[in-house]
Amino acid sequence: MKWRLNEDSKIIVPGSVTDNWYFFNGHSFEAITPTVNGGNLEFTVSKNKAVISLIRTNFDVLDISQRYGKIKAESIKESLKETSCINAHRVIEDNLLTDGSFEEWDDPNDLTHWSEGHGGSSSVNQDSINTVDGDYSVRLDIDTDGNYVQIWQYRYPADLESDGYYKLSFWYKSESKGLQVTIRKLKDGTSYYWDGSKWKTGEASIICSETAIWTHKEIIFTLEDAGDITLLHIQFGRESGTAGNTSKWVDNAKLEKSGVIEHYDARGDLKVTANSTDIKIYAVDSQSSNQAELDKVGIG
Ligand SMILES: [Ca+2]
Ligand SMILES: [Ca+2]
């Protein structure tokens, strides 16, 4: 069911938190900026349109020309279909990693929230010169003999969101061969590795190509058992065969769940007005009768 909104009609919701807002018509998102009027946010409709939902997010880009944006849109669409709520919703996308920007260190070789492992004299290092976010990045130095070096973090079901699509994104630079990224889930004592398109029981990883400049990488994976796994293991290391005396850097790593929807807490007071002088007030909740009334009365 859709709201049919006339040009210059307004949607008013209580609150002063602007975040980022979109009209969602079932297929695409249109950014809309509210004005703050006292204790309310007012959204003015620029032209006649039909929308399923007013959506508030804590992220500011919803680019459906990109694969992840499409997945996110599909995920939001599916969630709204399931709830049958025609209403204001909030979509959150929080970083599920702790210190993905590598800012907190116990000492220059020991990240507070990440584990470190290495062979020979390869090392994990705080780098304040090469960064993309905050004061530091993490630099993996490979010793003369090319020994391994890696950092990792475990996430547990309590740290994760519900089942669905997840995105691991980060910035990296890599000298001599690639950066190796491992996404492993442990379930019932068995390890499963994400190979870039599916989970498999044999060891697998994703190699991000050698690059001399900071490069953004996104890895999308599915988790259909987020509540049942023992842990999720995220690891960055050197590709096997990397030459000695070289380095790799990582910064601003994020693990995000696509399209987590919270129902906007003020929806019971949502108001829609046909024009600026004739304010119709509807106590909209998730009950279909109210939605039907809103739709029928029409605002259009
Ligand atoms: Ca950083
Ligand atoms: Ca550590």
Q: Which domains does the chain have, with CATH numbers?
A: 3-91+260-296 (no CATH), 105-257 (2.60.120.260)
pLDDT at 91: 62
Considering every ligand atom, which ligand is closest to the CA of 126?
A: 1
Q: Which two tokens stand for residue 266?
A: 């003020």
Q: 272 near 300, Cβ under 8 Å?
A: no
Q: Is residue 270 pLDDT above 80, yes or no? A: no
Residues 6+ apart with CB under 8 A from 229: 157, 185, 186, 187, 223
pLDDT at 277: 40
Q: How far is the CA of 100 from the centre of ligand 1 (A)?
A: 7
pLDDT at 191: 98
pLDDT at 296: 30
Considering every ligand atom, which ligand is closest to the CA of 111?
A: 2
Q: How far is the CA of 264 from the centre of ligand 2 (A)?
A: 38
Considering every ligand atom, which ligand is closest to the CA of 110?
A: 2
Q: Tell me the C-alpha distance between 46 and 269, whole Å.
A: 23
Residues 6+ apart with CB under 8 A from 78: none
CA dihedral 10, 13, 17, 18 (to 10 degrees): -20
Q: Is residue 154 pLDDT above 90, yes or no? A: yes
Q: Tell me the C-alpha distance between 217 and 230, whole Å.
A: 26
Average pLDDT of the chain is: 79
Q: Tell me the C-alpha distance between 51 and 44, whole Å.
A: 13
Q: How far is the CA of 188 from the centre of ligand 2 (A)?
A: 27
Q: Is residue 267 pLDDT above 50, yes or no? A: no
Q: How far is the CA of 129 from the centre of ligand 1 (A)?
A: 11
CA dihedral 243, 244, 246, 250 (to 10 degrees): 80
Considering every ligand atom, which ligand is closest to the CA of 102?
A: 1
Q: Is residue 177 pLDDT above 90, yes or no? A: yes
Among candidate residues 13, 11, 91, the one with its CA nearest the CA of residue 51: 11
pLDDT level of residue 182 (50, 70, 90 thresholds): very high
Please identify which residue in the block is written with the tokens 């304040």: 128
- Summarised one tens digit per residue, pLDDT across range 79-108 is 655 443 334 555 666 799 999 999 999 999
C-beta atoms surrounding 28 within 10 Å: 12
pTM: 0.68
CA-based end-to-end distance of the chain: 14
pLDDT at 35: 85
Q: Residues lining ligand 1 (ion), CB within 5 A?
A: 101-102, 133-134, 251
Q: Comparing 14-23, 191-200, 213-222, 227-236, which segment has the lowest mean pLDDT?
A: 14-23
Considering every ligand atom, which ligand is closest to the CA of 253?
A: 1
pLDDT at 86: 38
C-beta atoms surrounding 84 within 10 Å: 12
Considering every ligand atom, which ligand is closest to the CA of 251?
A: 1
Average pLDDT over residues 222-251: 96
Q: 66 near 33, Cβ under 8 Å?
A: no
Q: 194 near 104, Cβ under 8 Å?
A: no
